[in-house]
């Protein structure tokens, strides 16, 4: 995917939105390195509905600490065909932005 292609928007949801901020920075760096035009941000799961109403989201990645919400998130965005997945726990814990970016991009394709 090159920079002249359409921008992708990846929303990460976690418990409070703080632990994921480092992962977002690493994902943004990986996107830049790979020439991917991406908007990546994190929100607490409680604020996800608000963001979904405001923006066109291409995929949602849930932090491992809110993996129990996977079913309700899938249900919530089924009509919009937004793919949802849980971030791999090791990639999350080691803040591997490149791996999590690839996980999100695979969902979008």
Active site residues: 14
Q: In Å, how far are 2, 26, 75, 92, 102 from 34, measured between CA atoms?
A: 8, 12, 32, 20, 10
């Amino acid at each position: 995917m090159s920079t002249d292609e359409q921008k992708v928007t990846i929303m990460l949801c976690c418990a409070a939105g703080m632990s994921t901020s480092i992962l977002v920075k690493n994902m943004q760096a990986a996107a830049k390195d790979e020439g991917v035009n991406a908007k990546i941000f994190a929100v607490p799961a409680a604020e996800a509905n608000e963001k979904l109403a405001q923006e066109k989201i291409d995929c949602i990645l849930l932090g491992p600490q809110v993996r129990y919400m996977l079913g309700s998130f899938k249900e919530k965005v089924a009509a919009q065909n937004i793919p949802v997945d849980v971030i791999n726990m090791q990639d999350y814990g080691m803040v591997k932005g490149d791996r999590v970016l690839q996980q999100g991009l695979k969902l979008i394709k």
